[in-house]
Structures are given as C-alpha cells and as structure tokens.
Amino acid sequence: MSSSNKIIECVPNFSEGRDQKVIDSISDAIRSVPGVRLLDVDPGASTNRTVYTFVGSPSTIVQGALAAARVAYQLIDMTKHKGSHPRMGALDVCPFVPVSGVSVSECVAVSREFGSQLAEELGVPVFLYGDASVKGDYRRTMPQIRAGEYEGLSDKLQQKEWEPDYGAATFVPRWGATVTGVRKFLIAYNINMIATKEQAHRIALNLRSQGRNDGKPGRLQHCQAIGWYLQEKNMAQISINLTDFDVTPIHLAYEEACKDAAEMQLAVTGSEVVGLVPLQSLIMAADYYIEKDKLFILEEEHKVQLAIHRLGLSQLSPFVPNDRIIEYCLSEGGGAERGVGPLGRGSVAQLVKGVAARTPAPGGGSVAATVAALGSALGAMVGQLTYGKRQWDALESRMRTCIPPLHDAAMMLLPAIDDDTDAFSDYMSACRLSSSTEPEKEVKAAAVQKAARTTVEVPLKVMRTVDGCWEALAQVASVGNINCKSDVQVGARCLETGSWGAYYNVIINLDNIEDKEEREAFKREAESLLQNATAQLKNVLDIAHKRTA
C-alpha cells in the first residue's frame, strides 16, 4: 500500500489553554506542514491545556508534530503554568493513532522517530508509553509516567529507573518532559432517546465496561458511557466513548442500547458521531446490517449511506461523509476516488496521452493494471445486467456470489495504475542517492533493494488479483445475460492481457533484486499465475462460445 493510503492521527496535548495567540501559533505551525490536515483544536481554560487533532501519512505526521513542538518550545514556559489537569511538560503527551492502512507497530515506529527527533532537536527528555514502551511494566501508562507531575520531575529524572527513553536525564525548566506513544482511535458517539436523563443513564450503566458501583462489569468492552439530557434538543442521550471500535463497534453499542430501551419501553430515535470517524467503523456497521437483512450492496458509497440510515446519524444534523469520515477528508476526490492516484482518477484521454509521451512512466505496468481493471469491470457489469431482472430470478443467488469478487477486483486494480508508476519513480530516486561514504553506500543499497522489491510486488499483486477473478467470470459466462456474451469475451481477454503485462514487468525487474532465493520465488509465482490465466482464458472463451441462449 502506498504511503498516501496510510493515515495516522496525532493528538498532542499542550500545556496552554488560555492564551489564544499561543494556541493559534501552534495551530498555524501544524497547518504549515504539507500533507497534514488539522481537524480540531480544543482549548480548556480551567485545565490550561489544548488538545489538537490532525492527520497525515507516517512521514508527514512526524513533521506536523515537530513543527508544533518547535513553536511550543518558544512560547510555553512551564515555570509559570497552573491548571487542573495533570501535566509534566509543555508538550505533555503526543499519542499517535492508527486510522487507515497502518498497524499499531507502524505507529510505534512513528512515535519513536518523533521522540528521538524531538529530544535531539530541542534537547528535552522524552518518555515512551503504551505499546511503544521498552523499559518495563512500571512505566507503561500515562499515570505511571506522569506521577509527581512537573513539580516532581527534577527529582524523578535523577532516579536510574526514570532515565528518559530519548534525551539526557536533565531537567529543562521551561519545557519539563514529553510522553509519546500509541493508542487506539477513540470514537465519541451519542445515542438519542426520548427518555429522562435517569433512564438514559440506567442504560449507560448496563453498557459501559466499568458497569455499576457494585463491581459487576457492563456488557460492552472498551466502552465509557453516561446518560444526560439535552435541553436544547428536548431529548436524552447516552454519551459513549468507544476506545477500541474493533472490539466494540458503533453498531454494537447502538443495537445493545436499542435492546435495553425496548425492554424499558423507550424510543431510540437515532445517534450522532462527535467529530470524525474512520471509514472502517461505518463499513463494519453496514456489513452487519447487510448480513442481518441479507442485503446485496457492493459500492462503498452505498454501504456508507446504509450505515448512516440504520444508525440514524443524520437525525440532529446532516451527516456529510466527505466532511465527517477521516479518509474522505484527506482524499482529493472525496469518498469515490479515495486511494486512487492521478492516473486512475484522470480521463482515458489523459492516460493515453501520458503513455504516448516521451517518458518511461506511465508504462506497461500501468497499462496492464488498467486493462485488467477493465476486464474485471466488464465481468461485474454482465453480472449486474443479469441480477435483478425477472427473467433471471432463478440466478439471483449465483449472481450475488459472482459479482462481488469481480467488482472488488476492479476497485482494487484502480490504485495499481498509479502504484506501478510510483514504484518506478521510487526505484529511480533510490538509485540517485549519494554513495560517497560507506554509511551512504549502505543506506543507498538498502533503499535500492527495497524499491526494487516493490517494482516486482506491484505487478505481482495485479496478477494475484486477476487470478481471483476467473471462477466468478466463468460462472457469469455460463449463465449470465446472453446479450452480453461479447462483453464476457472482451473481459476475459483483458484479464489475460493484464496478467501477461504484469508478468513482463515482474520478469524485467527481477534482475534488480540481489537475493537469488527471493528472485526465484517471485519468478515461480508469476509463472504459475500466468499459466493459470492462459488456461482460464481458454475455459471462459469456450464456455461463452458454446452458449446460444
């Protein structure tokens, strides 16, 4: 996956919530970093603390955090700081949150890179917490590390067990210390009810992880909840924080609240998300309702709309996906073109002109991905022109099985049009790195091999995607709309041509990989996939040729 598809959220907490000039200066620093988007600024006067939320790629997110820290270093003086929130530094805590296309381990690496650069550049002590921690269980959580706060930090740094992970164990009065690490994405989610505050709170106690005061836990894990009443809306809400939506997704919280409300003869009228949400949280909700009601929905846009409708997310105010889903906010084309690069988003004329130009990229790899995408799309089209028509009602279940893999393959292959060009560009950039010293030679060699591997893996992924289409296409060819027979035939040819084109790109780039065993493994897989593509093309064409009705 390219770095443009990797999204990390950063939520730095700065110890200044009263001076608007300082708050704005930090905001401006974050906004100044290309590839970073500032989503929210939440100052608190009593806490004297401001929480910033911004998103970006693994590389840009670090630069955004460093830019903010540089300004804070100049403008915040911890010797004068007072506030109700526990704190130990000007940049008190800087968590990184995986949002899309990144793992916790990747975010750990990002947090450590940030901590190392912060300590080196500003000369301040930095501690790691959570999954990023390396010093033992006694210093994994924020309360453990922040114990004693700023006032006790000078003495704490003199203790061997509290030596910082980065930077010297030296007290910096104006700054204090910073903690950085990784946490899961938190979804702030409210469920709307026609009920009293007390009734809403009773349900909240049933759901939240800590349960009631009797020590018995509630039904949902990673769930914080209370009930309250909105006078301005004349309704109650169950206010929920979901700290791990992979374990407790929003649709589960909603359904469990509805269950309790029904038992109490109360009405749930909808819900709302506070702030932004990851796309996956809504797709999970849509998939739940699709399976529950045996629906047939393919398009991501339709899945998002289903989730919005079933959860009642637009009851209090319109839920606009391009403004509320993190991935869509960062995509130039919004939801429909998320993850697709400029070649894939452009017109056919632009792509053809680009290929015909006197440049090595876009080249055969991008063309192979384009042709393969068209082939799988044609198969999906024939399935769609069969599904839902009365004369082919008996084929509905078969089409529901055949269409998704063909449709999904087409969507997966669109980003590959740009991935091939990007891989070539990255390889050429690696080859141009300086190698005048031994350390530079080592860095260049590693970069070249990494980039070379990508130039093989990208077309190989195209071949794998094509390979996953043949069974479905054979089914469509055998029973699909006979009026689309030629479309099946063209689609099959396109898929095989795409596989051949990707194969040629694998083979020509193999020579750049130094590891012989790795080269041979790539070659064996490519040859096997190509052999199957050739056999499957013949099979699909034979099926289509024999059909007369």
Active site (catalytic) residues = 85, 420
Q: DSSP characters for 97-131?
A: EEEES--HHHHHHHHHHHHHHHHHHH---EEEEET
Written as six digits, the tokens of 5 are 């598809």
Beta strand 7-10 with 235-242 is unpaired
Asked if residues 376 and 463 have their Cβ atoms less than 8 Å apart, the reply is no
Reference 128, options 241, 141, 120; nearest CA is: 141
CA distance 2 to 59: 12
CA dihedral angle for residue 150, residue 151, residue 152, residue 153, rounded to 10 degrees: 40
- Report the distance separating Cα 511 and Cα 430, nearest Å: 16
Looking up tokens 């999204």, which residue turns up? 7
> C-alpha angle 165/171/177, rounded to 5°?
50
Residue 92 gets the label, from left (phi > 0), alpha (psi -120 to 50) or beta, of alpha
Q: Cite the beta strand spans of 12-86 per DSSP E.
A: 13-14, 37-44, 49-56
**Per-residue DSSP letter, 221:** T
Q: How far apart are CA 338 and CA 178, in angstroms?
A: 35
Which residue in 244, 266, 246 sits closest to 191, CA to CA?
266
Residue 274 three-state SS: strand
> Number of C-alpha atoms within 13 angstroms, CB side, residue 466?
39
| Cβ partners under 8 Å of residue 43, min gap 6 | 17, 18, 20, 23, 49, 50
How many other C-beta atoms are found inside a 10 Å radius of the C-beta of residue 244?
15
Helices (H), 432-515: 438-467, 470-479, 485-510
CA 355 vs. chain centroid, Å, equals 31
* Residue 461: partners with Cβ closer than 8 Å, 6 or more residues away: 416
